[in-house]
Amino acid sequence: MKQSLLDIRNAVTEIRDEDFNALVLRCLQEGHTPMEIVEEGLARGLEEVGRRFEEGEYFLADLILAGDMVTGATDMLREKMPAGETGRKGKVVLATVQGDVHDIGKKVVGIMLGASGYEVIDLGTDVPAAKIVETVRATGSSMVGLSALLTTMVHGIGEVVAGLVEAGLRDRVKVAIGGACCSQRLADEMGVDAFGESAIAAVRVFDGFRDGAAI
């Protein structure tokens, strides 16, 4: 790997954000394509951050700091990418269920999914089930990630599942949940396909959906 790509990867891995954008620009000037920088530099670096997070060496704040670096760089590179190169792994609709406005976990999941090659359609917080179902239909997405923090709002998960069934979409759409009040028990109770415990686990969950379903 070229030194400049390695520098980007290492900067992300070690969460060194000083002059990071200049490093990315230098890489472009050296002739690397935006996709090379994303895949070989940013994504690899973020993968390593994720690994260190799972091993307990890094913490949520480190994911946020690294995610901020990668998001800033990706936004800069996206303008220079040919159409169709972004979101190659498919579209994921993310939302915090109706009645709940907590979204830190969902934001971090979105960053990790985006950096891993997914096109993330983040509908925000307090989202009615009907809007989520309509977005799935309109975008052709086959994956949905729902966030819920409050026990009082978990019925919103069931409403999305019921909405997908009613719209005849459930068979082709995988649904995952995450958030403070979520558990495998709740996933089973609500009839969703998976529960992701952390942002890094969420990437595995959606990769698993892809492996098991034609996108």
Partner 1 sequence: METMSPVERVLRTFEGKPVDRVPVFCAMLESRTANEVLGKPLISSQRSVGFPLTRLFLNALGPRATGPFTRPILAGLLHRRNAAQVALGFDAIWAYYDDTWFFLDSKTIALTTGSLYNVISDGFGNMTYMYRGPGIKSPEDFDAWPHWPRADEVAHRVFRYYKRFISRYGERACIFGCGFFGGLQESMNWTFGIDKAPLWIRRHPVYVKRFLDIVEEVTLKTHTAILDAGVRVVVQMDDFAYKTGPFLSPRMIEEVFGERYRRIIGNVKGRGAKFVLHSCGDNTKLFDLFLQWGVDGFHAYEPTSNVDIYEEKRLHGGRATIIGGVGIDYLLTERSRDEEIVEKVRELIERLAPGGRFILGPAHSEDSIPAHKLRVMLEAAHRYGGYPAAS
Please spell the DSSP secondary structure of 66-100, one letter per residue.
Answer: HHHHHHHHHHHHHTTSPTTSSSTT-EEEEEEBTT-
Q: Which of residues 126-155 bind partner 1 (CB under 8 A)?
A: 150-152
Please, which residue, 24 or 202, has the CB nearer to partner 1?
Answer: 202
Helices (H) and strands (E) in the chain, counts: 10, 5
Instruction: Measure the CA angle with vertex 137, ends 168 and 129; round to 5°.
Output: 80
Rounded distance between C-alpha atoms, residue 24 and residue 41, angstroms: 9
Q: Which of 30, 80, 88, 183 binds partner 1 (CB under 8 A)?
A: 183
Q: Which of 40, 100, 122, 193 binds partner 1 (CB under 8 A)?
A: 100
Closest Cα to residue 24, out of 61, 75, 84, 86?
75
Q: Which of 36, 39, 48, 62 binds partner 1 (CB under 8 A)?
A: 62
Please, which residue, 64 or 165, has the CB nearer to partner 1?
Answer: 64
Q: Which of 102, 131, 137, 204 binds partner 1 (CB under 8 A)?
A: 102
Please, which residue, 139 or 152, has the CB nearer to partner 1?
Answer: 152
Rounded distance between C-alpha atoms, residue 110 and residue 116, angstroms: 10
Residue 26 binds partner 1, judged by CB under 8 A: no
Rounded distance between C-alpha atoms, residue 184 and residue 194, angstroms: 8
Q: Which of 25, 123, 181, 213 binds partner 1 (CB under 8 A)?
A: 181
Please, which residue, 107 or 170, has the CB nearer to partner 1?
Answer: 107
Q: For the CB of residue 50, give the shortest distance to partner 1 in the complex, in Å.
A: 13
Q: Which of residues 74-93 bind partner 1 (CB under 8 A)?
A: none
Rounded distance between C-alpha atoms, residue 194 and residue 145, angstroms: 9
CA 26 vs CA 13, 151, 179: distances in Å = 19, 48, 39
Q: How far is CA 202 from the centre of its chain?
A: 7
Residues in contact with partner 1, shown as a per-residue x/- string from 106 to 125 under the rule CB under 8 A:
-xx-----------------
Please, which residue, 12 or 27, has the CB nearer to partner 1?
Answer: 12
Applying CB under 8 A, which residues contact partner 1?
A: 17, 56, 58-62, 64-65, 68, 100-102, 104-105, 107-108, 150-152, 179-183, 185-186, 197-198
